Amino acid sequence: MAALTGGCACGRVRYRLNEAPLFTYACHCTDCQRTTGSAFVIHSTVARQDFEIEGETRSVMLPTDSGAGYDIHFCANCSTYIWCIYHMRSDPVLIIRAGTFDDAAKIKPGAHIFTDSMQPWFRLPEDVPSFQAAFDRNLTWPVESLDKLAGLIARA
Ligand SMILES: [Zn+2]
Ligand SMILES: [Zn+2]
């Protein structure tokens, strides 16, 4: 796969993803609705080692239902949210907000989660699995991605 690139709205922050995301999903939880100002977020989970970023960013820690919290990282100039890290898991991954990819149309969610809080007018695609709360990645991620993650954890 050719590297995927992306960045913020003002162009000062640019990133490059050297390998395909491990998995991409749409999250309909109320936290994601609020921080995006939209109906849901599209999140691509990627290996930290595959992610290169240039430009000044800031971050803020926000609460999650688990109590562990998560950090959202955004452009220091225009405040576009670019990626986040959840503290509940210590896996060597981070999550890119997929709307920031230059070619976001190449990224398609492989699952819809937290559909309990989904906006009532949104219609779920029939060919994509959906979950009322979080998903079990062993049931949703491609085997290659599970294998890659296991390797990353073993080496971390
Ligand atoms: Zn910016
Ligand atoms: Zn969410």
Report pLDDT digits (tens) over 47-83. 999 999 999 999 999 988 788 889 999 999 999 999 9
pLDDT over 70 (residue 1): no
Neighbours of ion ligand 2 (CB under 5 A): 27, 29, 32
pLDDT at 104 over 80: yes
Alpha carbon of 30 to ligand 2 centroid (Å): 7
Give the domain extent around 28: 4-155
> 14: CA distance to ligand 1 center in Å?
9
Q: How far is CA 153 from CA 16, 19, 23, in A?
A: 22, 17, 16
Query: What is the model's pTM?
Result: 0.94
Number of domain units in the chain: 1
The mean pLDDT of the chain is 94
Question: Where residue 41 sits, what CATH number does that domain have?
Answer: 3.90.1590.10
Question: What's the gap in Å between 53 CA and the centre of ligand 2?
Answer: 23
Which among 97, 115, 94, 112 is positioned nearest to 46, based on CA atoms? 94
Q: How far apart are CA 105 and CA 66, in angstroms?
A: 32
